Amino acid sequence: MKIFCVGRNYAAHAAELGNEVPDEPVIFMKPKSALLQPHTPFYYPEFTNELHYECELVLRICKNGKYIQDKFAGKYYDAITTGIDFTARDIQNELKEKGLPWEKAKAWDNSAVIGKWTPIANIKDKKNINFCMYKNKELVQQSNSNLMIHSFDEIVAYISNFFSINIGDMIFTGTPAGVGEAVVGDELEGFIEDDSMFTMEVK
């Protein structure tokens, strides 16, 4: 199982971090060990002093594929949820300044949180999905899939040019504006429309 992530897929988020809007998807990966297992507590990592949440729509791959065309890409994922791509922002900034890879900031154990899956067939319009996240009952991120720079199908097709996608792989499709710091004791809850997909606490 592989975890693909898309960076800078919402223009407002790229702007809030001072990044250029890319011409093609920015892809990075998290290892299997990054996935927080169900009923496992999430602990604030000891190596960072600036833990940031990034709520995203997450796709589940249901079919093996390679070199997929955009028009067929929708057949390769069957479920969606919201999740969090946790980031050690202080470490990421240090790495970016040195032109080094991001893994230490993005791919550590339990840095990927996912909610319950809902069939993509239950989504009326995958180009018009409202999603959001609350921190301590306060809305901190809110967006719609129609604001994505690269659509679900474009992302799947693009990734498949470089990597085989396999059943059970996941794709974090990018975070909108509103990312911010999470501290011990914070409660985070992610939604698709009015449906709560995950709740978690930072310990």
Continuous segment of H or E residues that includes residue 95: helix 89-98
CA dist 12 and 159 (Å) reads: 23
CA atoms within 13 A on the CB side of 112: 25
pLDDT value of position 185: 98
Q: Which has more pLDDT, 7 or 77?
A: 77
> Residue 77's closest CA among 59, 101, 52, 58?
59
Phi, psi (degrees; rounded to nearest 5) at 47: -90, 0
| pLDDT the model gives residue 18 | 65
Average pLDDT score, the chain = 95
Nearest CA to 56 among 124, 141, 126, 121? 141
Does position 20 have pLDDT exceeding 90, yes or no? Answer: no
pLDDT tens digit sequence for 84-114:
999 999 999 999 999 999 899 999 999 999 9
Question: β-strand 180-181 against 138-144: which pairing, if any?
Answer: unpaired
Q: Does the pLDDT of residue 19 top 70, yes or no?
A: no
Is the pLDDT at 15 greater than 60? The verdict is no
| Cβ-contact 4, 169 below 8 angstroms | yes
Structural domains in the chain, CATH included, are 3-201 (3.90.850.10)
- pLDDT tens digits, one per residue of 34-61: 999 999 999 999 999 999 999 999 999 9
Q: What is the pTM of this model?
A: 0.95
Spell out the SS3 assignment of 139-190: EEEEEEHHHECCCHHHHHHHHHCCCCECCCCEEECCCCCCCEECCCCCEEEE
Contact present, 2 and 166 (Cβ < 8 Å): yes
Tell me the pLDDT tens digit for each residue of 110-160. Answer: 999 999 999 999 999 999 999 999 999 999 999 999 999 999 999 999 999
In this model, does residue 14 exceed pLDDT 80?
no
DSSP letters for 12-31: HHHHHTTPPPPSS-EEEEE-
